[in-house]
Structure 1
Amino acid sequence: MTPLAPALREVRAVVFDTDGVITDSAKVHAAAWKVAFDDYLRAHPPADPDQRHPFDVRDDYLRHVDGKSRLDGAAAFLAARGIDTSEETVRTVAEAKERLFTARLRDQGVDAYPGTVRLVRALRAAGVPRAAASASRHAGELLSRAGVLDLFDALVDGGEAARLGLAGKPQPDLFLEAVDRLGVAADRAAVVEDALAGVEAGRRGGFALVVGVDRAAGPDTGARLLRHGADIVVRDLGELCAGGEPK
């Protein structure tokens, strides 16, 4: 019996987002964004009093910054609050977030989700190539710290995206580059994502299967992933294994 659930048995490669899918680092990103945005909101309150409330680590994070590059995420949130989105302002907030994230990563470290590790090992046992992709320049470091970098055949991170001039999510460039490095066409591959922009990128890229991971498990987060392009939504990637841990 194959260790893969039926949804994955026809795909020939799988591309995994990193933060929130492979590693439990999305919460570290969200915490760093909250401090950076809240500090900026206090120092430069929006003209509209209704827009002065603090950054919400669930709703604002998912809606505006999850899955995007630092600059794109900062610009999206600031625009939503009616704040100046000049290059200088966006870069100031993004750089503050980067300093906070780096410090938290150094102090706390990250872990890989056990269900994800189980699925990646099942794919490896089945001979299915695997790539990790991320808008973050820290992806390789995150995977190394979590002890799972060697489980992937390719990695495309934010540094590579910048070098190659790849558009950010919801454009599919990052995922298309990753699957190309695996030597498989997108219409024969799957994308696994927890971000709204990410599942939309998978859909735009013409991938055979787009899997949404609902870590937030909110009242409507799964439905939102489906609306943005996911074919199926799971709470944990272990759900996509069948027959237990591959030997």
Structure 2
Amino acid sequence: MAIGAVLFDCDGVLVDSEIVGLEDSAEFLRSNGFSWSPEDLIRLFTGKRDDLFRKGLMEGFAAVLGREPREAEKEALYEGLIEARRANRHKMKAVPGALETVKLVSELGIPLAVASSSKQVYLDSKIERYGFGPYVLPHVYSAEFVDHGKPAPDIFLHAAERLGVAPDSCIVIEDSPFGVEAGVAAGMEVWGFTGGGHCLEDHPMRLNQAGSSRIHATHSALQQDLVRVMEEQ
């Protein structure tokens, strides 16, 4: 295929944030009656926009309580869980090799964007903190500004439109099955990435089942594949 653009997810692809605070989050939920493990949280929620995450969380909470939780209970649970993650944010790092991949795509002359489920304020902070800005700005897009979050295709279609490229010429780099489904629904080729600290043993299989055409365990392997595809064009 001729690559019209590369669209990167952020969390778990560029920044190793999905693993941050995961154990503390599971422990907080256990203290509130949940039986979810860190692995359950990864499988249930990784890649989802905040509204979909909150919806699934509250459905689980209702099952724990055996009734619909009151608004005060919902807020206490949600804020407590978020705080468990925030308390660990100092541990967050860029995924090894991610900056080199973004730089390579830029040097190859391929348009690129970041298309993420994160809120824009957090997304912008990560892009700046880890040095991605010179290569991706201004094309950093949060799904909070489209109608539907992943696994709907909206954020990827929005990014392609802003770049001025056809969706079917885009390669999406995604670490979550929900993100892969979103890219496939957008009519794009999706390459799965399993180099994040949260990726489980069955992660490659789950990404393939969701529709990814290739799997890369490291950014080095991803870089080699991008160069190979460009040479074949």
| Fold shared per TM-score above 0.5 | yes
132-141 vs 75-84, greater mean Cα deviation: 75-84
Q: Which residue pairs with 1:188 in the alignment?
A: 169
For 1:168-247, list aligned pairs within 5 A.
168-207=149-188, 209-215=189-195, 216=198, 218-242=200-224
CA apart distance, 1:139: 1.2
CA apart distance, 1:37: 2.4
Do residues 37 (structure 1) and 32 (structure 2) align? no
1:122 to 101, 104, 113: 104
Fraction of identical pairs, as percent: 28
Distance 1:135 1:29 in 2: 18
Q: Cα deviations across residues 65-123 of structure 1 (Å, max 9, x unaligned)?
A: 10112331233245357345668355543332333333322xx1532223222221111
State the TM-score, normalizing by the size of structure 2. Answer: 0.81
Q: Quick one: which amino acid aligns to residue 2 of structure 2?
A: E
Distance 1:87 1:13 in 2: 46
CA apart distance, 1:31: 4.1
Q: Does the 8 Å CA contact 2:49/2:149 hold for their aligned counterparts? A: yes
Q: Quick one: which amino acid aligns to residue 64 of structure 1?
A: L
Aligned residues: CA RMSD = 2.7
CA apart distance, 1:230: 0.8
Distance 1:39 1:150 in 2: 43
Distance 1:226 1:202 in 2: 13
Q: Cα deviations across residues 122-158 of structure 1 (Å, max 9, x unaligned)?
A: 111111111112211211112222222222141112x
Q: Quick one: which amino acid aligns to residue 155 of structure 1?
A: V
Q: Does the 8 Å CA contact 1:217/1:235 hold for their aligned counterparts? A: no
Q: Which residue pairs with 1:156 in the alignment?
A: 141
Q: Cα deviations across residues 35-59 of structure 1 (Å, max 9, x unaligned)?
A: 4423332xxxxxxxxxx52x3222x
For 1:28-107, list aligned pairs within 5 A.
28=20, 30-31=22-23, 33-41=25-33, 52-53=34-35, 55-58=36-39, 60-79=40-59, 82-83=63-64, 88=71, 90-105=74-89
Q: Cα deviations across residues 162-201 of structure 1 (Å, max 9, x unaligned)?
A: 3x34201110111111222111111010111111111011
Over 3 Å counting, the alpha-carbon distance change for 1:73 and 1:206 in structure 2 is: same
Aligned pair count?
218
Secondary structure (helix, strand or coil) at the match of 1:62 reads helix
Q: Does the 8 Å CA contact 1:74/1:90 hold for their aligned counterparts? A: no
State the TM-score, normalizing by the size of structure 1. Answer: 0.77
Over 3 Å counting, the alpha-carbon distance change for 1:29 and 1:225 in structure 2 is: farther
Q: Which residue pairs with 1:11 in the alignment?
A: 3
Distance 1:31 1:149 in 2: 30
78-87 vs 171-180, greater mean Cα deviation: 78-87
Structure 2: runs of 5 or more not aligned: 228-233
Over 3 Å counting, the alpha-carbon distance change for 1:198 and 1:87 in structure 2 is: farther
